Amino acid sequence: MKLLEFFKVLQMCLDRLPAKTARIFMMREFVELDTEEICESLELSVSNLHVILHRARLRLRECMENNWFIE
C-alpha cells in the first residue's frame, strides 16, 4: 500500500512541474532515453537538457520531501 501512495505523491509532484520539464524528466528517468535521443527529439542542446533535468530533480525533491518523506 505504501508503494501506491508513494507513486500518487510522485505523480502529484510531476503534475506541478511545467509540462515540458515533466516530459523531459519522464523521458530520461522512466522511458530511459539517452541524452542524444532526448536532445534530438526535442531540439535541445545537451547543456540545456542537463539544466532542465537538474531543476526538475530539485523541484521533485522538494515536493516529495514536503508531501511524502516528512510526517
Q: How far apart are CA 6 and CA 63, in angstroms?
A: 12
Q: How far apart are CA 1 and CA 54, in angstroms?
A: 30
- pLDDT bracket for residue 2 (50, 70, 90): confident
Average pLDDT on 4-17 reads: 93
The model's pLDDT over 13-42, given as tens digits with 9 standing for 90+, comes to 999 999 999 999 999 999 999 999 999 999
Q: What are the E-state strand segments in 3-62?
A: none
